[in-house]
């Protein structure tokens, strides 16, 4: 695949969103919150022009071309996060032993999982907010990575080892991302 002589991605800044780029750090502020991220590479440039974030690379190599596309995806996720936010829905499932799930500080506490006496813990990552409503756990954040990692930590905390997963289906599972 021949690589283009230059890469130029333009991402339109949504209405009601303020963007600044200084010292390789892009700061995005919107109605849902604020998020910042470092974008640093010696061959790829980022700048703000005409209400757009421009990602530019002259004479890119294959990896530079791919990284420019990754940066574009990160910028799009930042814009979506500060305007709409990211939300993960997890469902609490149990067959016999009723699980008690609660939030204490920066951890999600899962008690009575499969009748275990010791509680299990899942770390809440970054600025994610977790709330438990009945048999649903809702994870919200303006940062997609923080929301996703927190949801994954909760799901992983109830992973069952050394038992048949077709029989022992208890756990907390991601049912909706968005």
DSSP string, 121-153: EEEPPTT-EEEEETTEEEEEESSHHHHHHHHHH
pLDDT band, very low/low/confident/very high, at 3 (cuts 50, 70, 90): low
> Residues 124-150: what's their mean pLDDT?
97
Whether 6-83 shares its CATH topology with 86-177 is answered: yes
pLDDT score recorded for residue 151: 98
* CA–CA gap between residue 136 and residue 92 (Å, rounded): 6
Position 45 pLDDT exceeds 90: yes
Q: Is 83 exposed, middle or buried (0-12, 13-18, 19+ CB in 10 A)?
A: middle
The domain spans of the chain are 6-83, 86-177
Which helix (H) or strand (E) segment holds residue 36: the answer is strand 34-38
Position 178 pLDDT exceeds 90: no
Question: What pTM, to 2 d.p., does this model score?
Answer: 0.91
Position 4 pLDDT exceeds 80: no
The dotted CATH code for 6-83 is 3.90.930.12
Cβ atoms of residues 76 and 11 within 8 Å:
yes
Class of the domain covering 86-177: alpha beta
pLDDT score recorded for residue 56: 96
pLDDT score recorded for residue 157: 98
* CA–CA gap between residue 143 and residue 177 (Å, rounded): 13
- Give the whole-number percent of the chain exceeding pLDDT 70: 98
Position 167 pLDDT exceeds 70: yes
Model confidence pLDDT, tens digit, residues 73-122:
999 999 999 999 999 999 999 999 999 999 999 999 999 999 999 999 99
């Amino acid at each position: 695949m021949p690589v283009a002589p230059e890469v130029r991605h333009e991402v339109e800044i949504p209405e009601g969103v303020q963007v600044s780029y200084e010292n390789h750090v892009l700061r995005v502020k919107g109605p849902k919150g604020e998020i910042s991220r470092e974008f640093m590479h010696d061959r790829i440039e980022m700048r703000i022009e005409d209400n757009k974030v421009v990602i530019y690379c002259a004479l890119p190599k294959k990896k530079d071309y791919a990284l420019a596309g990754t940066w574009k995806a990160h910028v799009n996720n930042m814009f979506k996060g500060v305007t709409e936010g990211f939300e993960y829905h997890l469902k609490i499932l149990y067959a016999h032993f009723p699980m008690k799930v609660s939030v204490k500080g920066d951890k999600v506490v899962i008690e009575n999982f499969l009748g275990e006496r010791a509680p299990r813990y899942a770390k809440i990552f970054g600025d994610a907010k977790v709330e438990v409503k009945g048999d649903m756990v809702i994870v919200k954040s303006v940062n997609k990575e923080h929301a996703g990692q927190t949801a994954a930590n909760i799901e992983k905390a109830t992973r069952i080892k050394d038992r048949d997963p077709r029989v022992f289906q208890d756990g907390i599972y991601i049912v909706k991302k968005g």
